[in-house]
């Protein structure tokens, strides 16, 4: 079982719609959860982080965490073509939870 | 400006010719790491360092070496590169490790022929 799993996509949504990206993780002890956005050929950049169960909102982005279900998601409201990118879920893990373990990413396509 | 700087950005080399990819950060972060990114496999950690002179293997360390003699620098060394090390490499730093935000360098696209 992979430590962090994401659907590779592509997830296609029309401009203005809500994009929902999902991620599951295997290590119940994980405490920190991150969403990174990566444009093709560029480096990942942090979008959101969440540590506690529930929702965390930042502008058009909402991260949702459910530790009981080992599930974290990212909602993007009012999706824009510039949101088209690969979204990487990352979870802390490893001995002492010092590692950051990445999923393989979900490719999002927002059509005008 | 806070940043992680990798060099070179692009490199084509031949099998067996030793190379070093440099990484430097100016944020006084304790934790630094190297990842490789391959299609369908995502970001995989090669090595990480929790502080000066403290390094440990990640998930795919074979064929790589690192050193951490200064807090700001964390070079990646390929002593005898092989074609299966052709990849996109990222250096990252974070304040204290996996529970904090990672800042990534611009990436190094390495081709080994």
pLDDT in tens, B38-70: 988 889 999 999 999 999 999 899 999 999 999
Edge to edge, the sheet with strand A61-66 lists A4-5, A19-25, A71-76, A61-66, A54-58
Interface residue A40 vs chain B (CB under 8 A): no
**Among the ranges given (A19-23, A101-105, B74-78), the one the predictor scored with the smallest mean pLDDT:** A101-105
| B106 vs A contacts (CB less than 8 Å) | 42-43
User: Is A103 close to B42, i.e. CB distance below 8 A?
Assistant: yes
Contact pairs from chain A to chain B, CB under 8 Å: 65
| Mean pLDDT over each residue of chain B, to the nearest integer | 94
Between B1 and A86, the higher pLDDT residue: A86
Please compute the mean of the pLDDT values over residues A55-72 and round it to a whole number: 96
| Mean pLDDT over each residue of chain A, to the nearest integer | 92
Mutant choice from A87, A90, A100 vs B, greatest count of B C-beta within 10 A: A100
pLDDT in tens, B69-107: 999 999 999 999 999 999 999 999 998 877 788 999 999
DSSP A12-43: EEETTSPEEEEEEES-TT---EEEEEE-TTS-
Residues in chain B: 113
User: Is A88 close to B102, i.e. CB distance below 8 A?
Assistant: no
Give the per-residue pLDDT at B80: 97
Smallest CA–CA distance, residue B64 to chain A, in Å, is 18
User: Is A32 close to B98, i.e. CB distance below 8 A?
Assistant: yes
Give the per-residue pLDDT at A48: 93
Residues A67, A54 contacting (CB under 8 angstroms)? no
User: Is B45 close to A43, i.e. CB distance below 8 A?
Assistant: no
Considering only the beta carbons, identify the residue of A42, A88, A94 that sits closest to B98. Answer: A94
Q: How far apart are CA B35 and CA B42, in angstroms?
A: 9
């Amino acid at each position: 079982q992979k430590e962090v799993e994401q659907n590779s996509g592509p997830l296609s949504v029309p401009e203005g719609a809500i994009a929902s990206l999902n991620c599951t993780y295997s290590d119940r002890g994980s405490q920190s959860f991150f969403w990174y956005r990566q444009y093709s050929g560029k480096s990942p950049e942090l979008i959101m982080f969440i540590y506690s169960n529930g929702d965390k909102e930042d502008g058009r982005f909402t991260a949702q965490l459910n530790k009981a279900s080992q599930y974290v998601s990212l909602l993007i409201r009012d999706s824009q073509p510039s949101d088209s990118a690969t979204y990487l879920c990352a979870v802390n893990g490893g001995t002492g939870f010092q590692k950051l373990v990445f999923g393989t990413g979900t490719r999002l396509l927002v059509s005008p | 400006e806070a940043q992680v700087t990798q060099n070179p950005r692009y490199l084509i080399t031949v099998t067996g010719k030793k190379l070093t990819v440099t990484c430097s950060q100016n944020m006084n972060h304790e934790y630094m790491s190297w990842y490789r990114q391959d299609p369908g496999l995502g970001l995989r950690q090669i090595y990480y360092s929790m502080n000066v002179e403290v390094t440990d293997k990640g998930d795919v360390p074979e064929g790589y070496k690192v050193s951490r003699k200064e807090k700001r620098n964390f070079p990646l060394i390929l002593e005898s590169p092989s074609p299966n090390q052709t990849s996109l490499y990222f250096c990252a730093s974070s304040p204290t490790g996996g529970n904090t935000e990672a800042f990534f360098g611009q990436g190094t696209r390495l081709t080994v022929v």
